[in-house]
Amino acid sequence: MHAIIRPMDSESTALRDPPHMALAPPASLLLDRIVTPMGETLLVTDERGTLRLLDWADHESRAIALLRRQYGAAVRLQRGPAPAALTQSLDAYFAGDLPRLDEIRCAAAGTPFQQAVWAALRAIPPGTTASYGAVAARLGHPKAMRAVGLANGANPIPIVVPCHRVIGADGSLTGYGGGLDRKRWLLAHEGVHEHAVQKQLTFE
């Protein structure tokens, strides 16, 4: 399933795009690099300019392997610039204009459950956090904390799909694909400091 990832509304328990909004697998992908406060970042976009993957340059081999798993070994990846609107939104976010992430159009291949989790992540506002249990409850599957954790870890578009805002039920930061230092930095950048991370969004 290839679908645009955007925040869930208050009634949704899964991401259900109308048929005309579903995206076909990309014919080709462009790889660009930008400098961020957390190091060089990889951006992969499709022919429509939709963001398909974001990762850090020190994890490039992992990023390429993920693209192959998602879209097949035949997918063409070539170097090329990401759309200016995308890089401008990311630059604005890192400069402190946190809501600019919501402007970014992104999509990824995933199961319906993964898509639902990723959409729920985009509904967590900057400056707040949610536990895995809270996300699972939001989806109508309160016992699916482990499945939520697996979907969170499989997110190919961190920052924009803010898996860094999901924490353990005890307030621990838990794992993060880019490393806990980056997760800590992102939360602090958004105004959530580790000593206050117990302030969690419950979706109530």
Q: According to the model, what pLDDT value does residue 76 have?
A: 82
Topology of 110-196 in CATH? Arc Repressor Mutant, subunit A (1.10.10)
Beta 28-36 vs 76-79: how paired, if at all?
Answer: parallel
**Bridge partners of 31?**
44, 79
Beta 28-36 vs 130-131: how paired, if at all?
Answer: unpaired
Catalytic positions, written as ranges: 163
pLDDT tens-digit profile, the chain (204 residues) = 666 766 665 433 333 333 333 467 787 899 999 999 999 999 999 999 999 999 999 999 999 898 888 888 877 889 999 999 999 999 999 999 999 999 999 999 999 999 999 999 999 999 999 999 999 999 999 999 999 999 999 999 999 999 999 999 888 888 888 999 999 999 999 999 765 554 444 443
| Span(s) in the chain for CATH 3.30.160.70 | 2-107
Tell me which CATH code domain 2-107 carries. 3.30.160.70
Check: pTM over 0.75? Answer yes or no: yes
